[in-house]
Structure formats: C-alpha cells, structure tokens
Structure 1
Amino acid sequence: MKHSYFMLHLAVLCLGLSGVFGKLISLNEGILTWYRVFLAATILFFILKWYKIPTDFTFKEKLHIAKNGLLLTASWLLFYASIKYSNISIGVICYCMASFFTAIFAPMINKAKFRLSEILLSGLTLCGIALIFHFDTSHQLGIVLGIISPAFASLYAINNERLTKKYNAICINYYQMVGGALGLACLLPFYIQHYPISTFIPNVLDILYLIILSLCSTVGVYLAFTEILKKISAFTLNLSLNLEPIYAILIAFLFLNEAKELNLSFYAGLFLVVSSVLLQYWISSKKSA
C-alpha cells in the first residue's frame, strides 16, 4: 500500500507539468489535445508491440474501453481551454473539483451509499473555488471551463476503476487514447468552425513539449493511475490529485512569473483546497490506526 501511495504522488507530480505545458505550447487547446492523445496512442502502440502484450479483445470490448477515452479527452480539452482563457493556477485549482464530482457520481453509478466525509471534504474544495470565482472576475470564463473539466475526469476515473479489474493497464490506456484521438478528430472540424485557429502545425519547441507531455505526463502517469486504482479507490486518487496545483503553481510562480496575476482571494481559495487534502489524509490515517 505504501508503494501505491508513493507511485500516486510521483504521478501527480508529473501530472502537474501538464498544465504548465498547456500554457507553454502555442497551439489552440483543441489541436493541443488531439496531438496529446495521438502521440500517446502511438507511444502505447509501440509499447504493446515491444512487450508483445496480447490485444485480442472483441470489438465490443475495444469500443467499451475507447468510449471511456472520450471522457478523458473531453476533460483535457476543457482543462487546456481553462488555462488558455485564464492561467495555469486557475486551471489546475479548478481541476480539484474532481473529488467533489466523484463523491456525487460514484455512489450513484456504483449504487452505494453516499459518504458524509467525502461530501464534506469535497465541499471544502468547492468553497475554495467559489471564493476564487466570486472575487476574480477577470478569469470567470476560464473558471467555468475549468469546473466542467473535472466532471468528465471524475466519470473517467470511476469507469476506469471497473476496467482495471478486467483488462491489462497498457491495453486500456492504448484503446482509450485511440478512442480519444478518433473522437476528437471527428469533432475538430466543428470546433474549428466556432473557434478559428492560426495554425495546425506545431513549431520545434512545441514538438519537444508535446513529446514530453505525451510520454511523461500522459502515458507514464495514466498507466500508473490504472495500476494504482487496483489498490486504492477512485475518490482517494481524485482527492490526491488536489496536490497537483501545488506543484504546477510553484513551477508557474518560479518560471512563468504568474504570481503577479493572482489576488488575495486566490490564495484564500487555495488554502481551503489544500486543507481538504490534509484533512483527508488525517481521516484516512485515523481509520487505518
């Protein structure tokens, strides 16, 4: 179990870089997301071939797994849109709403009882984001997009928790990335019609960032999450993801000078979000004692 928690936090640290790359890469959020899932699918394809992992699933099974990839792709698209319309700090803080949506969706989907502790802890995160939204009017569009993103991420994690009990982790992620790439490719013409873009082709620096993003912050992270979900719950995973903004914000402050864009209400909201994480760890340790 300790190994699973160590891997979880290492993965969250790598995931924190995905928001930073979202700001650094000059492409539109739709094109950026498509390149991310396409490159991830390509990397996973070669991993499957290299290790000779069998992929003899039925078409129905492949389709079922791929559909879950659409949820993740939608989450990424909205996440990057949030960052493009606001900044890294706002985008990653809003993503913390995943634990709130999981606390609501998981009992409904799994037909289980609602857990009061999960609702209260997630409510603390919600209060933090509401505080930022109310006082920071300059980033409200980014905040709205950022709040919708983790709803899709939550549904993805809940469904993935079931898939990990039946299928190989690499196969799951491969078909999910393929599903996301194909699904987004079908939607991009309509997306571009409403949100025109200047270029489809990434520059040299964008290509470097996209490769790192796809290899480290996508394939590595989500393979780790898929394995971790065999030992811990989707709620614990999503709540631990609340640490992602801390890593991302520190990087944004140190290297992108984002601190000047944020006001006191942001830091008050961040305090509430971090408090929800610390309280969850305290409650978990009391239960295991």
Structure 2
Amino acid sequence: MQESPGTSGTPSLQDYLQLHFLVIIWGFTAILGRLITIPAVELVVYRTLLASILLGIICVYKKKEVRVGSSVTVQFLLTGGVIALHWILFFAAARVANVSVCLAGMATGSLWTSLLEPLVQRRKVRLLEIGLGIIAIAGLYVVFRFEFTHALGLGMAVVSAMLAALFSVINSRFAHIYDAQVVTFYEMMGACLSASVLLPVFSVLFYKGEPINLIPVAWDWLWIVLLAWVCTVYAYSMGVSLLRKFTPFAINLTINLEPVYGIVLAVLIFGEKERMTPGFYAGTAIILLAVLIYPLLKRFQTKNLTQNV
C-alpha cells in the first residue's frame, strides 16, 4: 500500500532495541548458512521462494494494495537481484572461510554506505561518516593481516557488504513511500528469479557439471524455514520499516555489531572451529569502535551546529 512520504523523525528507545534485535537475527543468519547443507545459490532460491510465498499470503490476508505500477515493479525486482547477489556471496563466504571471518567482512558496510548514500541521494559527503568508515577499514586490514588464509572468504564478505549497503540506500527511498511488506514481497520475488537464473551459471563455473546437492535434507528444511520466515520476512520487512526512523548509514553502522553477536553465537554452537587469532579480535574491536563513538560524535556535531546558529 502506498503511503505518503514524510520525514524520518527521532528514533525512540524501542526503535533502537528493535534494531539491535534485528542485528542479532542477522548475525544468526550466517550460522544457519553453515548448518544448511545445500550450496549457496540453491539456498538463496529456497529462502526467497518461501519468503515470497509467506509475504504474498500476508499481503492478501491484510488486504494490502500490491499494485505499484510497472516502472516501480521493475525497480523492486532489480533491487531484489542485488539482494540475491549479496546473499549468495554472504553464504559462500561463511563456507569458504567461517562465520567469524564472514561477519568481520560484513562490518565494512558502514564505509560503503558513507560512499554510496551521497551518490544515490545526491547530498554532500559527510566527513564524519567517511572517517568512521575508514576506521572500519583499518580494522578490516588488521583482520586480513592475521587471517590471510581466509582471504577469499573475506573478499567475498566485503563485496557482499558493498551490495548490502547499496540496497539499503535504495530501500531508504522506498521506505517513505511504500508499505514495507509490499516492498519486501517484490524484492524477494526479484531475488528468487535472479538466483534461479544464476543457478546454472554457478553450476558450470564452480561445480564443473558435477552432480550437486539440490534437495535439502530433513534438518535443512527447518533451518531454511527459519531463514526464510524469521530472518527474512520478519527481519527484512522490519529493517525496511526502520529506514523511516534511521538513516541507511546509522543502520549499517549498527550492523557492525553483527560480528559481536554472531561470533559469540558461532563459538557457542561450533566451538573450536570458530576460535580465531588475537589479531582477528583486535581488528574486530577496531571496527566496532566506530559503532560506539558514532552516536557521541554525532551528538557533539549537532550540538556545535546548534550553538553556531
């Protein structure tokens, strides 16, 4: 259902708590990616197909207006294609390296957002955001230096973070105009179509025509349903909705906490496989420093601007 555009407003404590709860769910997504046995592209197809079905049922049940016009529909579907590539690289990174390395690479999302948001929204670059993004990159360099054996997985995660930043910036425009569940419905369909098209390409490039496991086993179905309905339908729709209260940069900076939540969960579930070198944790701490100082610097900057007016 189309809604009237409006200003973001001031986030409440409940909004912040909800955002952090979503980050915990997203941190658990990489763990589910490791638990599910089917390859990354097939996983994205199943995830987005089930998410589309449930969102379609929700839209019908709530009698939402899903007709948005052909040009907007194309925009939603293309954004879904970006999401599909993001998730494919995300799950592949968790398997090529491990959950911890994958989440550390994803923490560069704030830097990508600080670069992409001004381009898409045609506003001035904010030096504060660029500076905090550079801090995140410095942390990533420390991680890369001590975990060079995971270079491929880390690189996949960094590109995945760039794609995540891109669709967050794009969705920030949609969030003020269209219903979050309608946006998510179309984007999940676009992601499903894109992943389905990419499936034979990845099969030829990476599996050399060898038989691959396309059918989920018993436990896979449980994890895929959780991934599709909790981590996607609920969390993704709520994330689009929160873009009315937070800027894309603020959301992606908070998502930098995903490694903390995700790594703790991964160590508890996978044990020694997820224990990293001290250099890895030092680099992750540098990345998370940006999250902790952003609200303080933002408040200080706003206070100075107010006093100078």
Task: Look up the equivalent residue of 2:142 and give its one-letter code.
Answer: L
Deviation at 1:59, TM superposition (A): 2.1
Aligned residues: 289
Number of the residue aligned with 1:234 = 248
Structure 1 pair 260–55 and aligned structure 2 pair: CA distance change class (3 A): closer
Is the contact made by 1:252 and 1:258 (CA closer than 8 Å) also made in structure 2? no
Alpha-carbon RMSD: 1.4
Kindly report which structure 2 residues correspond to 1:1-289, keeping only aligned pairs within 5 A, or say none. Answer: 1-2=11-12, 3-196=14-207, 198-258=212-272, 261-286=275-300
Q: How far apart are residue 285 of structure 1 and its match?
A: 4.1
**Structure 1 spans left out of the alignment, 5+ residues:** none
Deviates more, 1:250-259 or 1:148-157: 250-259
Q: Are the structure 2 counterparts of residues 203 and 259 from structure 1 closer, same or farther at C-alpha, using a change threshold of 3 Å? A: closer
Structure 1-normalised TM-score?
A: 0.96
Structure 2 residue matching 1:243: 3-state secondary structure: helix
Report the AA paired with residue 275 of structure 1. Answer: L
State the alpha-carbon separation in 2 of the partners of residues 113 and 53 from structure 1: 36
Give the stretch that moved more between structures: 259-268 or 22-31: 259-268
Amino acid at match of 1:44: L
Letter in 1 for 2:182: C
Counterpart of 1:216, as a letter, is V
Q: Name the aligned partner's letter for residue 39 of structure 2.
A: N
When normalised by structure 2's length, the TM-score is 0.90
Q: Is the 8 A contact 2:50 2:228 kept in 1?
A: yes
Shift of residue 259, structure 1, vs aligned partner: 6.1
CA deviation after TM superposition for structure 1 residue 4, in Å: 1.8
The one-letter code sitting in structure 1 at the alignment partner of 2:45 is W
Instruction: Specify whether residues 260 and 252 from structure 1 end up closer, same or farther in structure 2 by C-alpha distance, changes over 3 A only.
Output: closer
Could you list the structure 1 runs, at least 4 aligned residues long, displaced by more than 3 angstroms after superposition. Answer: 258-261, 284-289
Q: What's the CA shift for 1:20?
A: 0.7
For structure 2, the residue ranges without an aligned partner over 5 or more in a row are 1-10, 304-309
1:258 CA displacement: 4.2
Aligned counterparts of 2:255 and 2:106: Cα–Cα separation in 1? 8
SS in 1 for 2:108: helix
Q: Percent identity?
A: 28
| Residue 135 (structure 1) shift | 2.3
Considering only CA atoms, is the larger Rg found in Structure 1 or Structure 2?
2
How far apart are 1:77 and its partner, in Å?
Answer: 0.7
